[in-house]
Amino acid sequence: MPEPDSGISRDRLLGGRVTILQPAGGYRTAIDPILLAAAVPAQPGETILDAGSGTGAAALALAARIEGVHVVGLDLEPGFIGLAAKSAEESGLSQSIRFVEGDLLSPPADLTPGGFDHVMANPPYLAAASGNPSPDAARRAATVESGARLDDWLRFIMTMARAGGTVTVIHRYDRKDEVVEGLAKGAGGAKVFPLWPKKAGEGAKRVIIQARKGEAGKTRIAKGLVLHNDDGSYTPEAEAILRDAGPLTL
């Protein structure tokens, strides 16, 4: 519910396991970062970078799902960094997550290249100068490429992952080839995992793509996940991830 006179709402994710503070209007998180975080094959003790962490949904979801991980969230928007840090505190996850303000085109010095076991990202879905950008600046930054293009995002996450570590991206299904080609410059064995709205093989809008840095292998197309039943409710498989904090095996 919105906090009085603040323009900020306090919402719950993962069946109440996580509290997230976010703008009551403008940019608000959807299910995409939850699905992204569920797909990262992290283990306790490993370090994960969430590139473009926004208000922290993916970082919070990952830390809530796997006790003992260490997550760093990077975002350009200082307002989001502040909200995400408060969300981590209210969710009891401050010991597992820290959020850093910075630009992936000129990353903070304390983010060491090759220093992360896993890197995840939810880059802006629309190419620069495409579509009808939102008048809300935060929403526009989250959905439309600006200074950093998709290739820049992919190059950055590849740089930050250690050799043999995973990079995981959620993006528009119709841009999956761009993502695969970008990751192929430094990783192999990409798994392409479609997210089907109601029926397998039809109408995918989103896709999760994962590869391992420095490894060879062919791209594999997975069967994907059906998100909704015919009545619009989540399928049991989607519920297990979105409500019960289960993993998503690609």
Residue 247 lies in a domain: no
The mean predicted confidence, pLDDT, of the chain is: 91
Is pLDDT above 70 for 5? no
Return the CATH number at 208. Answer: 3.40.50.150
Nearest CA-CA partner of 104 in 48, 160, 166, 33: 160
pLDDT for 222 equals 97
Is pLDDT above 50 for 23? yes
**What is the domain count for the chain?**
1
pLDDT for 13 equals 96
Own/partner long-range contacts of 225-228 (Cβ < 8 Å, ≥24 apart): 225/35, 225/193, 225/194, 225/195, 225/196, 226/196, 226/197, 226/198, 226/199, 226/200, 227/31, 227/195, 227/196, 227/197, 227/198, 228/197, 228/198
Residue 249 lies in a domain: no
pLDDT for 175 equals 96
Residue 250 lies in a domain: no
Residue 248 lies in a domain: no
> The whole model's pTM is what?
0.90
Residue 1 lies in a domain: no
- Specify the 3-state DSSP secondary structure of 91: coil
pLDDT for 25 equals 82
- Each residue's pLDDT tens digit, 141-196: 444 446 789 999 999 999 999 999 999 999 999 999 999 999 999 999 999 999 99
pLDDT for 128 equals 57
Read off the pLDDT of each residue in 13-33 and give the average, rounded to a whole number.
92
Residue found by looking up tokens 């950055």 in the block: 156
Read off the pLDDT of each residue in 14-31 and give the average, rounded to a whole number.
91
Residue 71 lies in a domain: yes
- Each residue's pLDDT tens digit, 197-242: 999 999 999 999 999 999 999 999 999 999 999 999 999 999 999 9
- Each residue's pLDDT tens digit, 93-150: 999 999 999 999 999 999 999 999 999 999 998 665 555 554 444 444 444 446 789 9
Token pair of 16, please?
């109440």
What is the domain extent for residue 16? 8-242
Read off the pLDDT of each residue in 1-5 and give the average, rounded to a whole number.
44
Residue 2 lies in a domain: no
pLDDT for 131 equals 54
Q: Is the dihedral of CA 138, 183, 37, 161 positive or negative?
A: negative
204: which strand partners? none
Rounded Cα distance, 237 and 231, in Å: 15
> What are the angstrom distances between the C-alpha of 118 and each of 88, 127, 154, 157?
20, 25, 13, 9
